Amino acid sequence: MRYKILAIIILVSFILISFASAQDKEQKEFSQNSEKWWLSAGIGGSHFGPCFSGGFTYNYNNSLFTVRYFQADEFNFNVEGQYDQPSLTCKEFGFLYGMSYVKNHGSLSLSAGISYVSGTDRGNLIAYHQFESINISTLGIPFEAKFRINIIGSIGVGGSWFGNINSTKSYTGGMFEISAGVL
C-alpha cells in the first residue's frame, strides 16, 4: 500500500513538473486576459459508488486555485433485496492548486492539494451481508487531471480523473463535468 501511494505521488509530481515546463515554452500563445474563473459540476463513479462533484476554480496566469466538494454513496440494488451493510459513503472538501494548458477552445489541467475526507467503509465480514463499519475521518491529498472543451460562450464540457490519497481509504474515479464562467 505504501509503495502504491508513493508511486502515485511520484507520478503526479513528474506530470506536474513536465506540464509546467512545457507550459513555459507555450506561454507566448496565451491571451493577454489571463484572469478567469468558473463553476463546475460533475457526475461519475468511484470505489464508493456513483458520485457528484462541485467546484469553483480561479485561474490566474494558468495557475489554478480550486475549491472542490465531492460526495459518493453506494448504489444498492439487487433481486434478493438484501444489501451489504454498512453502505459505502464518502464526502470530501478540498483545496487544490494546479497548472493548466489552454489551446484554442480546449484546456488540460493537473491539480493536487489538501482535503478533509469523511465517510464509511466496510471492514471484515461479520455475518451474511454484515461487515465491520470503518469510519473515515482524515486529511488527504486530492488530485485531478481534467480536460475541457468550450462549446457555447462560457459553457464547457469535459471529464476528469480524480482521486484522494489518505491514511484510511484512498480512492480514484472518473467524472463527466459541465462548467460555466469566464473561461
Q: With CA atoms as reference, report the closest residue to 181 among 66, 32, 45.
A: 66
Look up the CATH number of the domain holding residue 16.
2.40.160.20
The pLDDT tens digits of the residues spanning 39-86 come to: 999 999 998 889 999 999 998 887 899 999 999 998 877 777 777 888
What was the pLDDT predicted at 145? Answer: 94
> If you average pLDDT over residues 131-154, what whole number do you get?
91
> If you average pLDDT over residues 78-97, what whole number do you get?
86
CB atoms < 10 A from the CB of 139, how many?
A: 13
The pLDDT tens digits of the residues spanning 97-106 come to: 999 888 888 8
Residue 124 to residue 133: CA distance in whole angstroms: 9
What was the pLDDT predicted at 4? Answer: 62
The answer to whether the beta carbons of residues 84 and 129 sit under 8 Å apart is yes
CB atoms < 10 A from the CB of 127, how many?
A: 7
The pLDDT tens digits of the residues spanning 2-36 come to: 556 655 666 556 555 555 555 444 444 444 446 68
Domain extent, residue 41, equals 2-182
What total number of domains does the chain contain?
Answer: 1
HSE (CB half, 13 Å, CA atoms) of 50? 4
Task: Please state whether the peptide bond connecting residue 142 to the residue before it is cis, i.e. omega within 30 degrees of 0.
Answer: no
The answer to whether the beta carbons of residues 37 and 57 sit under 8 Å apart is yes
